[in-house]
Structures are given as structure tokens and as C-alpha cells.
Structure 1
Amino acid sequence: MEWSINLQLFAEDEKTEKATPRKRKKAREEGQVLQSREINTSLTLLAAFVLLFLLSSHYGSTMMNVSHYVFDEFMLGDHLFTIKNIQALTLTLIAAILIMTMPLALVVLVIGVTCSFLQVGFLISSKPLQPKLSKLNPIKGLKKLFSLEKVMELFKSLIKIFLIGFVIFRYITSQLGTIFSLMEREIEQSIAIVSQITLNIGLRAGAVLVLLAVLDYYYQKYEHEKKLKMSKQEVKDEHKQVEGDPKIKSKIRQKQMQISMRRMMQEIPKADVVITNPTHYAIAVRYAPEQYAAPVVVAKGQNLVAQNIKKIAEEHGIPMVENRALARVLYDTVEIGDLIPPDLYEAVAGVLAYVYQLDSKQMKEARR
């Protein structure tokens, strides 16, 4: 018996259920979102090398102009090494560096922000930055260091190094002839060839990183869903928090039914007639032409409630008319406080006419 209870508790604590929308929203507010940093890194690196490839001629001419200014005009020219001239040289170099790096920096920034936005959306959360004393626990730190997540990160890093190293090695071996011939070429040609080889290496490495980033995204998605999974008990507890405890809700419904029943019973003395089944159903109907366009049901009930309706009607001298079919139809189709539907006007009007005729006859007999 004890074993079966423990197994049941273990099954309830096992996280097998998908995360609810409320759990996902709470996790997002705490900064726990699906995001692959590999996508940001790979696309940023690839974009940087593509931009370098497209602007390589511009960068080359800019560097040549800067070198010409520094060596030909400044160092070999008539410029004196005064503080003013050195400041002017420094400002020129800074301006040239900014002109060269600003497009690259802007592209990298836009790519990084766009990748994060496409993965996460607009999210501002300070909770991940809040200090937690649990992070200072050395035991938890060691467990996290040797956890399966860290092992997978190490495995991914090794795969990344191996694939990128393999691609770069294959490319360099194919360019060995060109590399060995650099000694025989002019400096400008050598710089152009080295720049081209470097750009090709970057583009190939970036392409490999993009491929690995796509795989990493699906892995991160799997891990994210796994972390968000809930146990059956957690789902039950959340349902109680959102919908309320079933026991409390049952008591509230019971209280509401008692209040509505009390109000209904208070309306019975205002009725003109009670239509019965005769034992199972009782419907109290009131007709007030100055208030309603048609007769209205002020109370209805079945079995014990029907008996209470008839008892109150008898105490207040309200006539009761037996009409099995009409009583059943009114009970099934008309709610308390609703007007009689047009298709039942004739039947209810007949009952009310009978009651008014009966009241008139009783009044004449009373006068005699």
C-alpha cells in the first residue's frame, strides 16, 4: 500500500504535462524565453564578413590614403613634430577609423537586435539581473557545472571547433600554392591576396556557424519546452488559482442558489396563478399589463421545490390550475423572470381567463 502511494506521488511530481499559457507568460516575464545565441553570433559574424567583402575596395583605398598621409606628407614632409601637428594627425586617424568601422558596427548592431527581436519579441525584464542568494550556493554551483546542460554545451563547442577547423583547413590547403607565391609578389598584391583569403575564411566559417545555429535553435526549443513542462499536481494547483478551489466554488454556488431560491419564493405571493403537473412541476405566472407586455414566470420548480411553491401559493390564496402539458413546456422553455413566448400566449391566456372567471364567481358568491 505504501509503495503504491509513493509511486502515485512520484507520478504526480513527474513533469510530463505541457506548459500552460499562464506558465509561459510567467516564464517570459522572468526572462525565460526561447533564444539561441548561436543565431545572433553566426549571422552577425557572417554579415560582418559579407560587408567587409563588399567594402574591401573602399577600405583598401581609405587605408592607402591614410598611409600616404602619414608617411609621405607628415613623416617625410615639412611637418614639424609639434603638439598641434600630432593632435591633427591623431584626429585624422580617429576620423578615418570611425569612417571605416561605423558601417560595420551599425550592420552588426542591426543584425544582432533583429535576430533577438525575431526570436524573443519586445521584452524588457529586470528579473534576470536581480541578485539571488541561491546562486552563491557552492553545491548547486558544482551540480550546475557538471550538469547535462554543461556537457551538451561542451559537446556543441567541440563540434563547432571541429567543423570550422575542418572547413578552414580544407580551404587553406587548397590555397597553399597561392600562399607560397606571396614572397614573389609586390606588397600591394600580397595584401590583396591575404585579404581575399581572410575574407573567404570568414565567409566559410560564418556559413558553418549559421548551419550550426539553425540546429542549435531547434535544440534550444526542445530544452525550453522541457524546462517549462509541469507536473500534474502543478497543473491542478494552477487551475485552482485561476478558477478557484472546487470546494469553495461549490459552496459559493450553493449559497447563490439559496439566495436565488429565497428571492423566488418571495415573488410567489405576487403571482396570479400556479400551473401544476400536478405533483412534479409548479410554475407561478404573473400578469401585470402595466409593467409587462405578456405574462411573466416569477417562480418555477420541480419535485420538492414544486411542493414548496404550491404550499406558499396555498398560504396566500393563489389559485392552482392543473395542466400537465403546459406546466412541462413552461418549465423546460421559460426561465424565471422571462416573458411567456408568443407560441404559448393562447394556452396561458386560457388559464388566466379561467382564474379571472373563477375569482369573479367567488366574489359574487361572497356578496350574496
Structure 2
Amino acid sequence: MAGDSKTEKATPKKRQDERKKGNVFLSKDAIAVATLFGSFAVLKLTASGMVAQMKQFFEYCISCADLPVGSTQGVLSELAMQALMVLVKTAGPLLAITVILTVAATFAQTKFLVSGDSLKPKFNRINPLQGIKRLFSLKSIIEALKGTIKISILLFLIYRYLTGIYASFQKYLFTDLGQACQHLFQETFMMVMQIALAFTVLAGFDFLYQWWDYERQLKMSKQEIKEEYKQMEGNPQIKGKIKEMQRKMSQSRMMQQVPKADVIIRNPTHFAVALRYNPETDNAPLVLAKGQDELALRIVKVAEENSILVMENVPLARGLYAHAELNQEIPAEYYGAVAEVLVYLYRADAAHKKYKV
């Protein structure tokens, strides 16, 4: 269906949810290239020190070979300790920079994400049908193509290196060992840099592809966006029903206050405001109820059923409805007009009592 096609960009909530699951944009080729460059840079800087350390260790080993028989007690443990120290001094910096660059390149792309969801077992990964689908997916084909290109470039550069240095092998027989090793190391380093530069270009394309594939996977259908909006904001129909129920309950409570009113100020049909004033407890008249149109007619009807005075005053009714709040005192600017109504009410009440007597 057209509504199910994923053509819309992912919403911020969808991105955040996928991030919590550990599904983030990541190019492994970029990590590999950064590690390769950094490792060989450190190797070139520390090569002389590494050679000196190994030379010193080999000289120590040879010196131990001249010891008399029976005097080698403790030499083996010392050799093991020396070998461990040489390993730490030579391979330690290389391993450290490899780990640091790997972590840095990963966190730079994932924005320091640490998620345990990706470590949880997912049984759909061992599903044969899902495995076959992944095997023949577009991503698998592209990964296979990238692997083929990498191997081809690697073999070509190694072949070119070997054919170029083949003629130098005979010269090494008549060259000092140190100089021969230094020349061989320099040539090997140049080959590695060529491989690294070629892989950098591939990593650039892989970075763009991974970004495109990640955005494609995150795309949403219009129906999914609607469902997400309902989850975040609530179903509009349900919210409307809740508001309607709240409104009815509020009106019901308000209508229960009408019989306690002293007077109803009304516009003939549109507005009605119920007021109460008790000089002993109230500083000013209070608004017990107010309504418009149908609700105003209901207020007037309840007032008449309870023998509450209903007075028509168009500007006062409109003003109180617009500016007075429920269960609050009326604004000060309406004190005079309401006072006239209350005076009339008290006179009418007094006259009624006198007539009744």
C-alpha cells in the first residue's frame, strides 16, 4: 500500500530510539584506515628504538650462552623477564595506539554511544531464512564487492612492490646488514602508505554508502509517523473525549453551585453569570457559575427553579462573562454595577418580607 512505503525521513524520536538500541551510523573501513595510519606512523617513529631494544636483548642472550655449565641457575627466569620487558617496550606503544585510535574512531562516529542492547542475544540471527535473505541482500553484495576490490588493490600493490625490489635483493648480499634492513623497512613503509592511501579512498566511499544505507533503513512510512505522533501526543480522538468528559464534569459541578447564588445576571439569551455575596465571609461578590448560549439557559432555568432573582443587564453580563473567573471575586471595575444589583435585590427581598408579614 502507498501508506506503507517508507519514503519519509526519520523523526528525532525514531533516531533516538534506534540509538538506544545501539543502531547507529558506523563505517568500519574508516576505523581500519585510521588505525592503519596511526599504527605505521608509530612504528616508523619507534622503529630505531625497537631495533636497539631487540639488539640489546639478543646480545644478552648470546652472552648467556658463554656461561659455564651449572652456573645458569636463575638465568632462564632473567631471560623471561628481559623478554617480557622488551615485548612491552617494543610492542606496547604500537598496541596502545591501535586501541586508542580504534576507540576514538568508533566514538567519533557513534558520538560516545555505549549501549548494551547490541550485546543481547538475538535469535533471529540464527534463523536460516533470515540468513539467506541477508546473504543475498544489497548490503551483502556491496560488502562482497568492497572485499574483492580491497583484495585486488592489495595484491596489485604487493606485486608491484616485490617486482620493484627484486633487483635490490642481490645488492643486499654486499650491503651492511643495518643499511639493508633500513632500506627494506623504508620500501615496505612506502608500500604500506600506498595501501593506506588506496584504502582511504575506499573508506571515503564506504563512509558515504554507510551513511546512505543508515538513512535508508531509518526511513518511515506516513502511517508510522502518525502512530508515533499518537504515542507522543496521545490519540486526538481520545484526547477530545477526555476533554469533553472533563468539560461535562466541570459544568456539572458548576451547576450544583447555582442554587447557592444570590442573583443571576443575564443577557436575554447569550450570557448568564451567577453571583453570591455574603458580607460576613466574602470581600466581594463571587462568581459561582457562568455560561454562554445553551449553558446560560440552563443556569437561568436552575435559578428559576430555586427562586433565585434573574436580572437582565446586557453590558454587565457580557463584562462579567469575559473578565470574571469561576470561584473568584469579580474584578474591581464591576463593583459599582454589581452593588446596584445587590441593593435592588436587598430592597426587593425586604419588600417581599414586609408584604408577607
TM-score band, normalised by shorter chain: 0.7 to 0.9
Deviation at 1:281, TM superposition (A): 1.3
Taking the aligned partners of 1:184 and 1:344, their CA distance within structure 2 comes to 115
How many residues matched? 356
1:171–1:339 CA distance, 2 compared to 1 (3 A): farther
1:196–1:283 CA distance, 2 compared to 1 (3 A): same
- Which residue, out of 103, 107, 126, partners 1:113? 103
Taking the aligned partners of 1:203 and 1:347, their CA distance within structure 2 comes to 93
Taking the aligned partners of 1:199 and 1:362, their CA distance within structure 2 comes to 115
The equivalent of 1:236 in structure 2 is: 226
The equivalent of 1:60 in structure 2 is: 51
SS at match of 1:125: coil
TM-score calculated relative to the size of structure 2: 0.86
Deviates more, 1:148-157 or 1:24-33: 24-33
1:321–1:170 CA distance, 2 compared to 1 (3 A): farther
The equivalent of 1:296 in structure 2 is: 286
SS at match of 1:230: coil
Taking the aligned partners of 1:39 and 1:290, their CA distance within structure 2 comes to 82
Q: State whether structure 2 residue 28 is matched by structure 1 residue 37.
A: yes
Taking the aligned partners of 2:108 and 2:342, their CA distance within structure 1 comes to 71
Runs of 4+, deviation exceeding 4 Å: 79-83, 161-181, 288-293
Deviation at 1:282, TM superposition (A): 1.0
The equivalent of 2:67 in structure 1 is: 78
The answer to whether the 8 Å contact 2:50/2:89 transfers is no
Deviation at 1:205, TM superposition (A): 3.1
The equivalent of 2:41 in structure 1 is: 50
Q: After superposition, where does 1:145-294 map in structure 2 within 5 Å?
A: 145-161=135-151, 181-288=171-278, 293-294=283-284
Unaligned runs of 5+ in 2: none
Deviates more, 1:300-309 or 1:180-189: 180-189
Task: After superposition, give the CA deviation of every residue in 1:159-179 in whole Å (9 maximum; x if it has no partner).
Answer: 444556667777788878767
The equivalent of 1:102 in structure 2 is: 92
Taking the aligned partners of 2:240 and 2:316, their CA distance within structure 1 comes to 33
Q: After superposition, where does 1:314-333 map in structure 2 within 5 Å?
A: 314-333=304-323
Deviates more, 1:196-205 or 1:103-112: 196-205
1:316–1:66 CA distance, 2 compared to 1 (3 A): same
CA RMSD, Structure 1 to Structure 2 (Å): 3.0
The equivalent of 1:358 in structure 2 is: 348
Amino acid aligned to 1:97? L
Taking the aligned partners of 1:294 and 1:180, their CA distance within structure 2 comes to 114
Taking the aligned partners of 2:169 and 2:331, their CA distance within structure 1 comes to 97
1:199–1:285 CA distance, 2 compared to 1 (3 A): farther
The equivalent of 1:138 in structure 2 is: 128
Taking the aligned partners of 1:240 and 1:93, their CA distance within structure 2 comes to 66
1:275–1:150 CA distance, 2 compared to 1 (3 A): same
1:95–1:278 CA distance, 2 compared to 1 (3 A): same
SS at match of 1:52: helix
1:29–1:276 CA distance, 2 compared to 1 (3 A): same
SS at match of 1:17: coil
The answer to whether the 8 Å contact 2:7/2:220 transfers is yes
The equivalent of 1:26 in structure 2 is: 17
Amino acid aligned to 1:32? N
Taking only the aligned residue pairs, the percentage that are identical comes to 38
Q: State whether structure 2 residue 7 is matched by structure 1 residue 12.
A: no
Taking the aligned partners of 2:59 and 2:171, their CA distance within structure 1 comes to 27
1:331–1:89 CA distance, 2 compared to 1 (3 A): same
SS at match of 1:94: helix
Q: After superposition, where does 1:335-350 map in structure 2 within 5 Å?
A: 335-350=325-340
Amino acid aligned to 2:203? A
Unaligned runs of 5+ in 1: 1-9
SS at match of 1:274: strand
Deviation at 1:85, TM superposition (A): 2.5
Taking the aligned partners of 1:335 and 1:14, their CA distance within structure 2 comes to 51
Amino acid aligned to 1:275? I
Task: After superposition, give the CA deviation of every residue in 1:93-134 in whole Å (9 maximum; x if it has no partner).
Answer: 122111211122222222222222222244443433333333
Amino acid aligned to 2:5? E
